[in-house]
Amino acid sequence: MASIGPESVALIFATSEKRRNADVDYLFRPHSNFVYLTGFHEPDALLVLAPGHPKFEESLFVRPRDLSAEQWNGRRLGAERVKETLGINNAFTVEEFKEVIPNLLDGRNELHVDQDSETSHQVDDWLKGMGEAGLEPPQIRAELEDTLHELRLIKSEAEIATMQEAANISAIAHQRAMRYCRPGISELALESELQHEFALHGARFTAYPSIVASGANACIMHYIQNDRTIEDGDLVLIDAGCEYHFYASDITRTFPANGRFTPPQRDIYDLVLSAQLAAIDQVKTGQLFTDPHKTSTRILAQGLIDLGVLNGSLDEILENELAKPFTVHRCSHFLGLDVHDVGKREIDGTDRVLAPGMVLTVEPGLYFGNADTMPNLDPRWHDIGIRIEDDVVVTESGNHVLSSDAPKSADDVESLMAG
């Protein structure tokens, strides 16, 4: 409220349930902005913030109690329990919204709201109705991301503690997958081991669909079919993280299906790991958001030269992006309530400076095609896809790796799988 100022009003929607098929809905998960400000997770709710309003500075609209509906679909909080449970001073049912909302919006200069296709038409109708009733609706429409997303970018100690727990659970799940893996099982069976471990520790949801990619599938960035039988000699790339109390984790590990890297696999793995460790060292206060990516890109490019995959000078290869077919993606994204969390990576065209409380991933990778996609590539590199990813908090004195419990040196991976 301090950020948007006393002439403004903000509308933050929880969103509604979504139909999956026939009469079955997807499991509901509220919008992250709404979770951040309320901790509430029922559908159809709306938070209204009107800084300085004499009566209704903060108001939450929720579904009314309905004993019949609750018997079928679960208990509702109800407006009468909002203040006691959530600490929000004013509560109404969604049925009272049309009576109350004009008073909350009347005379305000700016309306801060997500430009979401699901809710924009509702907001348009409310503003139009106010004008027809002789009231003064807000004349300026502002994006919530300009204020709320900047607040979400810097995590509190409590948020970091929750993200640490999410990372701990996910790291245990990655260990379980490494132990369970062997040639002849399906990618789906390996995914089920991850899901089982998440649930054992109270994380019902994944932060994103789990990627369990063996062999050539590891060279597909967002492979989620997870339906191939894992073969002897394959590498298995798992990019998976649980969501714990709405906060995401995001860990990637790559390991040999039979427990032993081949020499070419080991060469590429050690190169990616060296790039990742150097990139993590760049995650600290005062560095730029792009520094981890630039650092890892230089190391990967030089490594490809040393291995004979690329020819030419390092500067030439970087200038002409000749390593791009092998590196494919950037090294980092912010992490929080969303796996690709909010926060601008550039400010007025300038790279963002990292600050304490920011959490980002560090995930360099190398991906090699086969005779069809890269006909000039030495066959020993065919279908090798390796990515290593950790979740890293920027601290006052450097950084802290949340996901360090997931083994990642080649020796540690082989030792865990042998055990």
Catalytic residues: 23, 222, 239, 250, 329, 333, 340, 363, 367, 387, 389
CA distance 106 to 100: 10
| Widest CA span in the chain | 77
CB contact at 8 A, 374 and 325: yes
Q: Pull the structure tokens for residue 110.
A: 């700016």
Helix ranges, 181-288 (H) = 187-200, 263-280
CA distance 218 to 221: 7
Secondary structure element (H or E) that encloses residue 295, with its range:
helix 291-306
Only one residue has tokens 């810097």, namely 154
CA distance 274 to 322: 20
351 beta partners: 346
CB proximity list for 58: less than 8 A, separation 6 or greater:
1, 47, 48, 49, 50, 88, 89, 90
In degrees and rounded to multiples of 5, residue 334 shows phi and psi of: -70, 155
CB contact at 8 A, 62 and 94: yes
Strands 205-206 and 140-143: unpaired
CB contact at 8 A, 409 and 273: yes
Which of helix, strand or coil describes residue 395? coil
Which of helix, strand or coil describes residue 21? strand
DSSP per-residue codes, 136-185: ---SEEEEGGGTHHHHHHS--HHHHHHHHHHHHHHHHHHHHHHHH--TTS
CA distance 114 to 12: 8
CA distance 168 to 317: 38
CA distance 413 to 417: 6
